[in-house]
Chain A
């Protein structure tokens, strides 16, 4: 049962009565997304939050020169959405697509209320998730403003320990705001440093 991933995720974070939450979770739609398929595109009003059961999603923008800039990757157990669009009902400036064949739980706008109805500790947990998200965004701003390529890379592998094997270097470089050549140089230097 694919739904179990979200339940397992919740279980490991809040005290929940399985039956109550699974009753709600079992009403959620699982969407199978092929590699390359879009879940959100610029101009759409984002209707959902996605929870990645399996696979990998990417949240990105396309700038005036046509260059793609990766804001976030979402592997298994990550929530992803365009908060500006979904909560403020604005047309999105962003895109979400699948970097691998994926299975995502499609959460309606009111899912926080819905799960909270079943289990009030979810509200507190959701707050924690939000604060955590803001903390990562703050760190990302700081890294992009002032950190070296190596510092950015070291942070990336802490946040996403297994993505290096799954994502082309060009996309990682885009996420880090550096050129693929710089990323390659950083990785080469790290390897030299660690050579026994």
Chain B
């Protein structure tokens, strides 16, 4: 089996605020060589590295805004987020939980720090990822999957070395709990110092990882420190990571959709006309209503 090599290791950029509740480093699509085409089907990745939010009476977050044409996946590592959308989806996710919202034909939603977390304040750490939808599914009905950590199946690493949480796709013989519209693997590798895990994805899949906690070495060569992202080449299938400190690593691999992308703000479609339609539909209330 051919080794999948690291193409580049990317340091987090200067953070910016999304609303007032998410202090994020954007990797996809603004990062060098991390544009939507290269990372297809992963079209956006915002990473809220560990950040201490002081107590706040008013929950911080992002007010009502629309989405169409893709899925938003929020992975909570620290802190709690509450979500509401115009299709009736909603809930609270905490440490280890995932919120997988299929915006598809269009929803309005808002995301805030959960009330009690907000009042107490504390360390907040999240990833928000946008997964593009195939053209044929862009106008399907919105859907919401709230995935609690206890429902995520885990693959144990030998010698108590940790575990691989299989959020979507598969790892070895374990299948992910989330349903997806195109082939995607989404894994959280939680490894103790010195533990190793190996991964195998088709060479055509776009593959990346983000070190959430600790640090790792990839293929015994490339060091990837905390809060850094590694992008893999599209040759080779197999790679190995070793935790040089107790580590949490988000591993993503997806089959590219290879469809045209027309993106503007919260809408990601295939043509410019579809973007114009999205604005018109949103303005005319066709995404519903949310206070």
Contacts and interface: CB of A to CB of B under 8 A. Distances in A.
Contacts of B285: 187-194
B288 A195 contact: yes
Q: How large is the interface on A (under 10, 10 to 19, 20 to 34, 35 or more residues)?
A: 10 to 19
Contact of A191 (B265, B279, B289): B289
Given A157-B284, A161-B280, A187 B289 contact: yes
A192 B282 contact: no
B169 interface: no
B268 to A, nearest CB: 14
Q: How large is the interface on B (under 10, 10 to 19, 20 to 34, 35 or more residues)?
A: 10 to 19
A167 interface: no
Interface string B269-289: 000000010011011111111
B13 interface: no
Contacts, number: 36
Report whether over half of chain A's contact residues are helix, strand or loop; otherwise say mixed.
helix
Nearest to A168: B63
A190 B264 CA distance: 23
A194 B286 contact: yes
A157 B287 CA distance: 15
B266 interface: yes
Interface string B209-238: 000000000000000000000000000000
A188 B64 CA distance: 13
Interface string B76-93: 000000000000000000
Interface of B: 65-66, 264-266, 276, 279-280, 282-289
Report, nearest first, the 4 A-B pairs whose CB atoms are least far apart.
A191-B285, A190-B285, A191-B289, A157-B283
